Amino acid sequence: MDVSYLDLLMAQQEEVVEAEGGGGVWVVADVLDGAVAPVTLEALGAARTLADALGAYVYAVLLGHGVTGLAQTLTQAGADGVRVADHPALAQFALEPYLQVLADLFQAQQPEVVLFGATAMGQELAPRLAQRMGGGLIEHVTAVSLDEATRTVQASVPIYGGEYLEVLACPEARPQFLTIEPGAFPAPFLDPYRQGEPTLLEVEPVEAAVHVVGPAGDFEPPAVPLSRAPVIVAAGRQAGDFELVKRLAAALGGQVAGDRGARDAGWIGHEQIVDVRGVTVAPKIYVAVGIRGDTFHNAAIEEAKFIVAIHPDPTAPIFQIADLCLEADPREVLPPLLEALEAT
């Protein structure tokens, strides 16, 4: 019988079955501006690596309204199958409707691993699904590997602001839920020759507990806490004119703070004291105006990315840690600096 190599290859593909012991690796897709979010494609790349090591399939789940056409992108990115919940009730993300669809699906399919993007949606859904199903959860994952003997994912997560990586695992809890940090994994090549028909899921509408009714009127959002402010202008005893310090902070779009001397002068409140006994800060820019810089103050700003110090005393300790030092009286320096900033 004349059998071509192509026939043999197709026959082999038809005999491939999913590995026993689990329901595959699943990725829950995020939709951003009518397209599959980049973090979802990155998660599919990570899922493909894990699935190949497990001998399992990769599945993607897509929720929304009018999103069925996006299923082809997920297939081209490496999904072996796509489940789509396309319903008007899912047009905007709401916790209860999305959670119900995914809980029903995962209870039926019993996945081994489920990946979300570490996005607003993923951070809402992943912990609740893990709790419902008795699974384990690792958040903000930047790298994955596999213990093939136990089929356990080992995930690296950043700690101390990314200075170190910690390797975490859920050796017993199943499914294993992961949220993938955006940009941590390379996006896979989209193969236009990969084709597949999505499986449409039946959606039983669930009433959302929270409804968006419109923007709030007469509402001022709370200010960013001083500990997380990106720009800080802080005053010390030698600042002289505190009004100039406040104008400089406004010109730079920053927050006003100070050392204990500024607090004693009545310029700032206790919650604005930059000190290891007060508030420790890590801004992108820290401008110290007239701050001499004692041990407690300087230790509280050591995580600042760029420190500017203005002080008339060349022996001031603040100059030892500052990136830009200006030996001058702030009352002489700030007016021309403000004139230049406010003119732009």
Same domain assignment for residues 272 and 323: yes
Same domain assignment for residues 278 and 180: no
Tell me, what's the pLDDT at 221?
66
Tell me, what's the pLDDT at 15?
35
pLDDT digits (tens, 9 = 90+) for 128-146: 999 999 999 999 999 999 9
Query: Residue 212: CB partners within 8 Å, gap ≥ 6?
Result: 92
Percent pLDDT > 90 in the chain is 68
Contact 307, 301 (CB under 8 A): yes
Query: Residue 222: CB partners within 8 Å, gap ≥ 6?
Result: none
Same domain assignment for residues 324 and 193: no
Percent pLDDT > 70 in the chain is 91
Q: Which run of H or of E encompasses 44?
A: helix 38-54
Distance CA(60)–CA(68), nearest Å, equals: 12
Calculate helix-pair angle for 242-252, 330-343, nearest 10 degrees: 30
Q: Is residue 218 part of a domain?
A: no
Contact 206, 97 (CB under 8 A): yes
pLDDT at 300 over 70: yes
Query: Residue 290: CB partners within 8 Å, gap ≥ 6?
Result: 235, 236, 237, 238, 239, 240, 310, 311, 330
Same domain assignment for residues 169 and 268: no
Same domain assignment for residues 294 and 151: no
Distance CA(144)–CA(157), nearest Å, equals: 9
Distance CA(57)–CA(83), nearest Å, equals: 13
Pairing of strands 231-235, 285-289: parallel
Same domain assignment for residues 264 and 187: no
Distance CA(256)–CA(234), nearest Å, equals: 6
Tell me, what's the pLDDT at 16?
33
Contact 186, 144 (CB under 8 A): no
Tokens 């900033």, located at residue: 341
pLDDT at 292 over 60: yes
Q: Is residue 7 part of a domain?
A: no
The neighbour count for residue 188, using CB atoms within 10 Å, is: 18
Question: How confident is the model over 21-37, as a mean pLDDT?
Answer: 87
Same domain assignment for residues 328 and 274: yes
Same domain assignment for residues 55 and 170: yes
Q: Is residue 216 part of a domain?
A: no
pLDDT digits (tens, 9 = 90+) for 143-193: 999 998 899 999 999 876 566 789 999 999 999 999 998 888 999 999 999
Same domain assignment for residues 179 and 297: no
Domain count along the chain: 2
Name the residue range of residue 141's domain. 21-200
pLDDT at 8 over 50: no
Ranked by mean pLDDT, the top range of 22-31, 34-43, 216-225 is 34-43
Output helix, strand, coil percentages for the chain, rounded to the nearest 5: 35, 25, 40
Q: Is residue 108 part of a domain?
A: yes
Q: Is residue 211 part of a domain?
A: no
Same domain assignment for residues 316 and 251: yes
CATH number for position 30: 3.40.50.620
Last residue of a domain, one of 151, 184, 200: 200
Same domain assignment for residues 121 and 235: no
Same domain assignment for residues 31 and 173: yes
CATH number for position 328: 3.40.50.1220
Q: Is residue 183 part of a domain?
A: yes
Last residue of a domain, one of 182, 200, 218: 200
Q: Is residue 219 part of a domain?
A: no
Q: List the beta bridge partners of residue 235.
A: 258, 289
Q: Is residue 284 part of a domain?
A: yes
pLDDT digits (tens, 9 = 90+) for 255-276: 999 998 898 888 998 889 998 8
